[in-house]
Amino acid sequence: MVHYETKQICRVLYDFSASSEDELDVRAGDCVIVEGRVGDDWLVGYTISDLTNGRSISKTGRFPASYVTYQL
């Protein structure tokens, strides 16, 4: 179950390749908007590059919480 929280911007520290449809591919250096949390280990969100490139948000998915930092 996703627990929604105040949206936060995070920077991705490590590459993560999705292995299921509900996961999101992220790359080191990406910025993501985090919308929620699944347990202690996963965050749910989307990449900011989707917004800055003039595209609509193509996908929201989960990725490991330990792969991002909130310090921007």
Residue extents of the structural domains in the chain: 3-69
**Right CATH for 3-69 from 3.40.50.300, 2.30.30.40, 3.40.190.10, 3.40.440.10:** 2.30.30.40
φ and ψ at 31, to 5 degrees? -110, 135
Instruction: Kindly report whether the global pTM for this prediction surpasses the value 0.75.
Output: yes
Please report the pLDDT score of residue 58 as a whole number.
Answer: 64
Alpha helices (H) along 1-72: 49-52
Q: Which amino acid is at 4?
A: Y
- Mean pLDDT per block of 10 residues along the chain (72 residues) reads 80 96 94 92 86 64 94 54
Q: Which amino acid is at 29?
A: G
Contact in structure between 46 and 31 (CB atoms under 8 Å): no
Please report the pLDDT score of residue 70 as a whole number.
Answer: 80
8 three-class SS? strand
Please report the pLDDT score of residue 2 as a whole number.
Answer: 73
